[in-house]
Amino acid sequence: MVTKDFPKDYITAAINEPIRKHENFKPIQVLTSPKGETILDFGQNLVGWVKVAIQGKAGEQIKLSHVEMLDKKGVPYFENLRSAKAQATYTLSGNGIEILEPHFTFFGFRYVKVEGLSGKINPNDFTAIALYSDMKQTGTFECSNPLVNQLQSNIQWGQKGNFLDVPTDCPQRDERLGWTGDAEVFSRTAAYNFNVNQFFSKWLIDVTADQNKNGSVPFVIPNTLKGTSFDMPVGAAGWSDASIIIPYNMYVSYGDREIVERQYPSMKAYLNYVRGAAKKDLWNTGFQFADWLSYRADDSQGMIGMKSAITDNYLVAQCFYAYNTEIMIKAAALLGKTDEVQEYQALLERIKKAFQAEYMTASGKLISETQTAYILALQFDMFPEDLRLQAVERLVKNIESYEYHLTTGFLGTPFLNPVLSRFGRNDVAYKLLLQDTYPSWLYPIKAHGATTIWERWDSMKPDGTFQDPGMTSFNHYAYGAVRDWIYRTVAGIDTKEAEGAGYKEIIIKPELGGNLTYAKGSLETNYGLVSSSWKIENSKLILDVEIPANTNATIVFPTNKVETIKENDLIVNEKSKIVGSGKYHFEMQM
């Protein structure tokens, strides 16, 4: 059971960054729909409101209706708002130019339908104002592929639009809830984009406050689903274990030991809940979201001849049971809880044996032949060591069978490229990153000009029609978790855990691929700026690195020709080099 009697210092920690107005946007064009509607296009799917500076007659009403998308005919698409009206209506006083804007709501939109104005609309009278928590941007990334750069922008805007006091799932419809699964899968990426230490610190206090007496964690925090079908005292893998995963991710990203120490009773209570729900160390009971929104074949939109990618719910749960236990081992070690370290280590061994007995044949074939099944089993070392390489081969063959398209859902996607890179298949990881037809990260950008991450891989289908309007958001950041891999692998910026967390001990290890000719990334850490920039010129690789004060870094050079590595014309002749703070310039053969 988790105590709800918070000490006084919780009150200070619970004060989150204020929500502020940020970027302003003017319409990039004024459109007329086939129905004769006047539509302002602000060029960016954002969250906030429109400020109007307008003059009119007393009693005239102006109505602004906010939508994310236009259909293929150019008509505003309202259906995915469900019961949300997403409208602002103003009645003019007739006293000259009036400045009108709301203060107690927000909308998710790119397009605004304007009604009530007579005469030609002046787009300069309208300003879209982006609204989100006052998080400082900390990470940047750029490469030679413009679609990947747009993906980077989409991921950041997805976070901006959904980090409004709590990490919401989507901002435009009648929901806007703090779904734990979305926050969990994206938390490490979030910490690259912006400084979210206090944002998540406050939200995790809410997690503890709403945690059920049996240790389970509601699917939405704050738990506004009480009295609905989702209000049940159970936990779901990948969702409820945000209570364990996010505190540790914040420690790794910021070196914030106190957040783990404060949340540890909650973390332990949730793991104890799962242990109680499991039977002989096998978590195969209760409700599960599993690999939410993974690829489903559709006769008109799916890849021809490709089957749906459905992973067994409890296979997924067992992998996350292991993931949670592995984190608890690390958290207990961090806090000096030696007895609990040993307890959790023994538990982890039993969890893996139970997985192997239930979901794997003797030759290493899983009962679910999906990308997600092999990704999770490889990520969390569920295979015996001698069967891991064959599992990688099965994973790669599966990806090849889908013509280098991903089929993963919310829980498989974050680990897809990291697993491939870990096991030496960076070539496949890059092919997935750069795939631009459905389903892929770049499909929404290339086919439909997306400016945020979508809820579904095909929220808008290749033929321009929409997915189920009951659950189709165009600003839903979960699939943007790939940015974690982009930072750590393409730019090559990472941190050691344990004593080196929070970029006290930095790893610079860029891995080249995808015909990229340059990539550069930077991150503002608590110690200062760390950056990694590489480019290819005439078959020569140039690597520039900056390391902040009071830290050190291990630089792993992306070449096997160690004899060609030079630092300012001095031969390095090593595959890696440990350096202190400063700026470094290296050149080497590919």
- Catalytically active residues are 175, 455
- Give whole-number Cα distances, 329 to 326, 335, 341, 382, 505, in Å: 5, 10, 5, 16, 21
Peptide bond into 414 cis (omega under 30): no
Distance (Å, rounded) from C-alpha 222 to C-alpha 166? 8
Alpha helices (runs of H) in 72-218, residue ranges in sequence order: 146-162, 180-193, 197-210
Tokens read off for 498: 């344990």
Token pair in block for residue 433:
């990153």
Whats the size of the chain, residue-wise?
590
**Three-state SS at 164:** strand
Helix (H, G, I), strand (E, B) or coil at 286: coil
Q: In what order do the strands lie in the sheet with 518-525?
A: 139-143, 518-525, 528-537, 540-547, 582-589, 566-567, 570-571
**Can you tell me the distance from the alpha carbon of 93 to that of 320, in angstroms, rounded to the nearest whole number?**
59
Q: How many Å apart are CA 463 and CA 471, to the nearest integer?
A: 19
What is the greatest pairwise CA distance in the chain? 81
Q: Which amino acid is at 569?
A: D
CB 404 within 8 A of CB 514: no
Give strand pairing partners of 529.
Answer: 524
Torsion angle of C-alpha atoms 427, 320, 230, 460, degrees rounded to 10? 0
Backbone φ and ψ of 503, nearest 5°: 70, 30
Spatial separation of the C-alpha atoms in residues 506 and 255, rounded to whole Å: 12
Tokens, residue 272 = 């104890």
Amino acid at 583: K
Distances (CA, A) of 552 to 344, 477, 495: 32, 33, 10
The single-letter DSSP state of residue 400 is: H
Burial level of 269, CB count in 10 A (0-12/13-18/19+)?
buried
Q: Measured between alpha carbons, how far is 220 from 358 in angstroms, rounded to an integer? A: 31
Amino acid in position 117? L
| Nearest by Cα to 137 from 190, 186, 195, 199 | 195
As a whole number of Å, the CA-based R_g of the chain is 25
Q: What DSSP string describes 535-546?
A: EEETTEEEEEEE
The Cα-based distances of 88 to 48, 170, 305, 513 in angstroms read: 12, 19, 47, 48
